[in-house]
Structure 1
Amino acid sequence: MNIDRLERLDACTWRLNPERGMRVPVILYGDEALIRAMDDKVLEQAANVAGLPGIVQASYAMPDAHWGYGFPIGGVAAFDAGAGGVVSAGGVGFDVSCGVRTLLTGLKRPAIEPVKTLLADTLYADIPVGLGSHGKIRLDAQGLDAMLKGGAQWAVEQGWGEARDLTRIEEHGRMEGARPENVSARAKERQRAEMGTLGSGNHYLEVQEVTEIFDAGSAQTFGISEGDVVVSIHCGSRGLGHQIGTEYLRLMQGAAKQHGIALPDRELACAPIESEVGQDYLGAMRAAINCALANRQILTHLTRQVFARVLPAARLELLYDVSHNTCKFEEHLVEGKRRRLHVHRKGATRAYGPGHPDLPPAFAETGQPVLIGGSMGTASYILAGTSGSETLSFASACHGAGRSMSRHQATRTWQGREVIDQLAERGILIRSPSYRGVAEEAPGAYKDVHAVVQSSDRAGLARLVARLEPIICIKG
């Protein structure tokens, strides 16, 4: 990215002042190396978002930002319905409510080593993974609608999990305002056999070791210490979410024209929040959030079953579950006043700070656990929300490493078998149905995740708590 157009506010904060139709500035977060390495398209897309009706304060790009469909991935923007604000399916993404949940095993690394291969093989056998993967659960029409309304709460009621899990999930496991009737028959059909599946792409289930603690107090509250083994699950709403995104983007192109919204990019299709299309999308999108929450809950249940057989001493308590592809109706402080806004986070993690009323009491003093997935073979991180992030980014932080090259370029650079063998030499076991999928997700195809989380920490978006290194990765 050419940084000549940007004003540097501090070591990790950059500003593009309004120009050419922008209603608000663009704020980018990242150290100089990360900003320079970003594609110019990131700034172009963030500037386009800054010109949408009803946008509040700024259009933000997180340190892991890269260009996407409409909004940049790593983009955050809030809109005021009372000021003609819009909702955009491109500001949420196709994988609605893709997110991460982390489970505490209560074990240390030496307990894993004797059974590491068995654990990898059993997880791979029992966790459906890969493009179009199907699980053992088949939902009829009534069951699908109940799941779309109930989310993880529904899953627990069906026996896939424990009631105490719900206290450690955003929205307590169920997104209010879901409207299954706004989800098409095609979207529902795609999801009918996909509950309890990881899917493909950058989705994974990883067994990880806590290798470094940055904030001992928060780590103690989170229940983690150096040498601990944890399990992280990264996936979303599968085929249903993708279908919702595809269908509503098409509807929003017509709605934007109908309401006289000039789009600088057709991929930025949107509709007024209070319009029929806007409300229909929000109802469908919230149903997709519940689908993702239910999906991760079922995957947790399957993972617990595997550990019960292979490592009965493991307890697998849920630390937290948070999404990074959503639009949420939230209250935020803007210029000294509380305002209710629709906050789009596309490839950005909600990061509520200490004392936020929506957090479990256990995190009142530390702030929300912010779960950051690394690329395959590299570290992941646990951060904590800060009290200052609300005014910096509507309480948002990065979500992962962020791609530095396309999947096509990655497959021309690496061979999947070669990547698996190289990681095995480092003691990391990969299980995947697709060599091509492994090549697409090769560690070198992503940015330096440590630089990304350091920038988030230095900018005040979220506070570093712990570093996690992979032991086993079940990969789509």
Structure 2
Amino acid sequence: MNMNLLERIDDYTWTIPLKVGEKRSGIRLYGSEPLLKSMDDKVLEQITNVATLPGLVGEAMTMPDAHWGYGFPIGGVAAFDAEEGGIISAGGVGFDISCGIRCLRTNLMREDLTSTDLTKLADELSRAIPAGVGREGKLRLTLDELDDVLRGGAQWAIHHGYGLGEDLSFVEEMGKMQGARPENISRLAKERQLGEVGTLGSGNHYLEVQEVAKIYDEKAAEAFGIKKGQIVVSIHCGSRALGHQIGTEYLVSLAKAATRLGISLPDRELACAPIHSPEGQEYIGAMNAAINCAMANRQVLTHMTRNAFECLFKGVKIETLYDVSHNTCKEETHLVNGVERNLWVHRKGATRAFGPGHPDIPVRYRSVGQPVIIGGSMGTGSYILAGTKEGEERAFSSASHGAGRAMSRHQALKLWKGKQVIQELAQKGILIRSASMRGVAEEAPDAYKDVDLVAQATEKAGLARRVAFLRPKVCIKG
């Protein structure tokens, strides 16, 4: 990224000055100078385009892990007021609607597991968790049954025996997004999903067994129920084929709506419609149904993970620490210049991060802030953070969601072979199980930004504070 185009506000906050005659809202970029230098100039172009959209409140923002995406940059955040002509954009949500991470804590400690135990666990999880491009699972639904999933989310999964009722207390929206409209989703999108509930998918999705390697905030860690040496599990996936098909189809209808209503778009990938328009409402209903699909998916995978652990470890206990999405648009109340406003907050490759005291945080965590999970690249590590009051003011309670790609998958394939990556990680004590050597090469650790720098910048920018570092032991990939 060309730093000459930026103006420094502080060491972790930047802006793009307005040019004479330029019509747009403000822009805010969060991150350290090295992280911003590593970003593509396309990030600047895309967030500048977002700043021209109708009804934007405050600034268009990027998180410290930002990189080029479709329409919005990944790591992009923007809030809109429906009463001021604010819009909803499929490109601002992303194709993998409600892609997110569920973190599970166990009662196992690292010293409880031998190297043989870890190998057996890797093999058992690999057998139990369907993963890969187009991979279907054991759960095969009818169209009517899928509609029930799209309305019920993780609550549907619990009702059908996939998990424990207490899981729901630690999932956004108690596991069920209101306002879902399965009737707004095409038959093709639904047919693509009939066999994919309870599957991991491919790309950057994973199931990872991790060790809590470092604690930064003892009070928050105690509230989250984690301590150094403890074994946790992170499940990273979303709405699979259904979400992608919804995104593909609604880009067309939203683009037509923008043309019909005279909305000038600097980039066709920013296809959007006013929130109160028929097209906007149709997309929101479909998006909410896809959010429910993703939450059900992670709930079913949680159940499968418990079963795999129970096959090997007598008396093991696995609880949901938290489940949070990072490809959504949600209606939320935020203070803007001291006044409460209802806003529609797009978070694409960004995570909601409510600060201490927020009523939507589980009571157990309310005094310390919402758990925020920054997923690392395969083999490097991840972070658990906590939302802050400052983050509510600075970024509509938003934070980084992961390490963020540093190069394209095509570039990664030129530099690494899957078998090579697996062997190098095995030498570090990290076991990889994947059906695709190409997929492993595309997701090589060095194809991503340094997750340590991203987590540090997220904290220094006041978006969320670090609670724990998680070191990978076993990773299941598609």
**TM-score (normalizing by structure 2):** 0.99
Maintained 8 Å contact 2:143/2:191: no
Instruction: Look up the SS of the partner of 1:45 in the other structure.
Output: helix
Q: Is the 8 A contact 2:334 2:342 kept in 1?
A: yes
Note if contact 1:18-1:26 (Cα within 8 Å) is conserved in structure 2: no
Q: What is the 5 A alignment of 1:257-268?
A: 257-268=259-270
User: Which amino acid is 1:177 matched to?
Assistant: G
Aligned to 1:225: 227
3-state SS in 2 of match to 1:388: helix
Q: Does 1:289 align with 2:278?
A: no
1:313-332 aligned within 5 A: 313-332=315-334
Q: What letter corresponds to residue 4 of structure 1 in structure 2? A: N
Change (3 A) 1:22 1:319: farther
Correspondence list, 1:9-158, <5 A: 9-19=9-19, 21-113=22-114, 114-158=116-160
What's the offset of the Cα at 1:4?
1.5
What is the Cα deviation at residue 138 of structure 1? Answer: 1.0
Tell me which amino acid in the other structure corresponds to 2:45: E
Per the TM alignment, residue 3 of structure 1 is displaced from its structure 2 partner at its CA by: 1.4
Deviation at 1:391, TM superposition (A): 1.4
Q: Deviations over 1:390-432 (max 9, x none)?
A: 1111000000000000000000110000000000000000000
* Residues 1:351 and 2:334 are matched in the alignment: no
Report the Cα offset of residue 252 of structure 1: 1.1
Would you say the 8 A contact 2:379–2:430 is kept in 1? yes
SS at match of 2:113: helix
Aligned mates of 1:420, 1:119 — CA distance in 2: 17
C-alpha distance in 2, partners of 1:12/1:170? Answer: 29
**1:42-441 alignment to 2 at 5 Å?**
42-113=43-114, 114-441=116-443
Distance 2:91 2:107 in 1: 40
For residue 8 of structure 2, what is the amino acid of its counterpart? R
SS in 1 for 2:315: coil
Judge conservation of contact 2:108–2:316 (CA < 8 Å) in 1. Answer: yes
Aligned amino acid, residue 50 of structure 2: V
For 2:121 and 2:302, how far apart are their aligned partners in 1?
15
Q: Distance in 2 between matches of 1:354 and 1:310?
A: 38
2:284 is paired with a residue whose SS is: helix
- Give 1:200 deviation, angstroms: 0.3
Deviations 1:427-450 (A, max 9, x none): 000000000000000001000010
Aligned equivalents of 1:441 and 1:429: distance in 2?
Answer: 15
CA distance in 2 between counterparts of 1:235 and 1:222 reads 22
Q: Is the 8 A contact 1:38 1:66 kept in 2?
A: yes
Q: CA deviation at 1:350?
A: 0.3
Amino acid at match of 1:333: L
Partner residue in 1 for 2:4 = 4
Give secondary structure in 2 for the equivalent of 1:210: strand
Aligned-partner SS, 2:468: strand
Give the partner amino acid of 1:245: G
Letter in 2 for 1:388: E
Q: Work out the CA distance in 2 between the residues paired with 1:230 and 1:175.
A: 26
RMSD: 0.8
* Contact 1:21 1:51 survives alignment (8 Å): no
19-28 vs 398-407, which moves further: 19-28
C-alpha separation in 2, matches of 1:217 and 1:11:
27
Deviation at 1:262, TM superposition (A): 0.7
CA distance in 2, matches of 1:131, 1:22: 43
Moved more, 15-24 or 288-297: 15-24
Q: What is the CA distance between 1:21 and its match in structure 2?
A: 4.4
Alpha-carbon deviation of 1:22? 4.2
Question: AA paired with 1:475?
Answer: K
Amino acid at match of 2:210: Q
Q: 1-side partners of 2:410 and 2:314: how far apart?
A: 42
Equivalent AA in structure 2 for residue 39 of structure 1: D
How many angstroms does 1:133 deviate by?
Answer: 0.6
Aligned mates of 1:422, 1:47 — CA distance in 2: 40
Superposition deviation, residue 17 in structure 1: 2.9
TM-aligned CA distance change 1:49 to 1:421, over 3 Å = same
Q: Is the 8 A contact 1:161 1:297 kept in 2?
A: yes
Q: Give the secondary structure class of the aligned counterpart of 2:145.
A: helix
**What amino acid is aligned across from residue 295 of structure 1 in structure 2?**
N
Q: Secondary structure at the match of 1:281?
A: helix
Aligned identity (percent) is 62
Give the distance between the partners of 1:44 and 1:235, measured in 2 at CA. Answer: 28
Q: CA deviation at 1:34?
A: 0.5
Q: What amino acid is the match of 1:344?
A: H
In structure 2, distance between residues paired with 1:421 and 1:2: 37
Q: How far is the alpha carbon of 1:37 from its aligned partner?
A: 1.0
- The CA deviation string for residues 276-308 of structure 1, in whole angstroms up to 9 with x for no partner, is 110000000000000000000000000000111
TM-score (norm 1): 0.99
1:3 alignment partner AA: M
SS in 2 for 1:132: coil
